């Protein structure tokens, strides 16, 4: 089976400070659903950051979508990022843009035709139950609503890989279930590889998943 991610003796740290992730080895098969757990400060967001090339490996090798991230040109990295959907822990919505335009962003970058773009955005707004808010700006929304916009944006261009950092962190049970349904749907119907950082793995998952736990700089699979 194809590997979307391969880490070999991968170490991560910020500038010259302490090692956050220490010589880990793991891989993720194409089309799998992976949960990452770990205590606050254990390095979950740091690991996700490295997976989209936001933090260069300190040591070792990290290959994502066939691209070696320890030594990557900016053009290759931009190309790779077009195929990844990301939900940041702090959302990172463009506050000067309406939520509709925020969700359009990956479609514009990928050169989608206008009609297709609008149809896709309308569909996603419905899926995250925000169709009545399309013209609002991020700061006019609640935290949980912003989180749902971030999820819609991550899914917009049907990426091959979704990286989601605590995507239900601010949501009630109903909205959390919407998000899990969207991620499970992308995984089962579009074969999207999904990597989710969370503190709570839902009990009623409808797809098979793997669970990696980060502790003391190491990663191990929980069975």
DSSP element (H, E) containing 150 = helix 143-155
Question: Do residues 196 and 210 touch, judged by C-beta distance below 8 A?
Answer: no
Closest distance of CB 57 from ligand ATP, Å: 15
> Interface with ligand ATP includes 41 (CB under 6 A)?
yes
Residues 59/10, Cβ–Cβ less than 8 Å: yes
Phi/psi for 87 (5° steps) reads -110, 110
Contacts to Mg ion from residues 30-59, by CB under 5 A: 44-45
State which H helix or E strand residue 181 sits in.
helix 173-190
167 touching ligand ATP, by CB under 6 A: no
Shortest distance in whole angstroms from residue 105 CB to ligand ATP: 23
Give the count of beta carbons closer than 10 Å to the beta carbon of residue 36: 23
Residues 5-34 that bind ligand ATP (CB under 6 A): 14, 17, 20
Contact between 176 and Mg ion (CB under 5 A)?
no
How many other C-beta atoms lie within 10 A of the C-beta of residue 222? Answer: 10
- Judged by CB under 6 A, the chain residues 58 through 77 that form the site for ligand ATP are none
Residues that bind Mg ion (CB under 5 A): 44-45, 89
Residues that bind ligand ATP (CB under 6 A): 14, 17, 20, 38, 40-46, 89
């Amino acid at each position: 089976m194809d590997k979307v991610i391969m880490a070999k003796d991968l170490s991560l740290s910020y500038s010259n400070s302490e090692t956050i992730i220490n010589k880990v080895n793991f891989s993720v098969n194409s089309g799998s659903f992976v949960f990452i757990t770990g205590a606050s400060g254990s390095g979950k967001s740091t690991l996700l950051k490295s997976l989209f090339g936001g933090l260069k490996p300190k040591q070792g090798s990290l290959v994502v979508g066939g691209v070696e991230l320890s030594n990557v040109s900016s053009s290759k990295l931009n190309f790779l990022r077009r195929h990844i959907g990301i939900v940041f822990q702090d959302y990172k919505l463009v506050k000067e843009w309406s939520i509709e335009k925020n969700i359009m962003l990956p479609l514009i970058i990928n050169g989608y035709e206008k009609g297709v773009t609008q149809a896709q955005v309308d569909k996603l707004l419905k899926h995250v139950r925000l169709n009545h808010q399309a013209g609002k700006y991020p700061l006019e929304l609640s935290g949980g609503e912003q989180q749902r916009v971030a999820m819609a944006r991550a899914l917009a261009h049907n990426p091959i890989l979704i990286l989601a950092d605590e995507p239900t962190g601010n949501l009630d049970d109903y909205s959390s279930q919407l998000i899990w349904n969207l991620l499970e749907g992308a995984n089962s119907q579009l074969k999207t590889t999904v990597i989710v950082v969370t503190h709570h793995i839902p009990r009623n998952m409808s797809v098979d998943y793997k669970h990696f736990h980060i502790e003391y700089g190491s990663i191990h699979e929980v069975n």
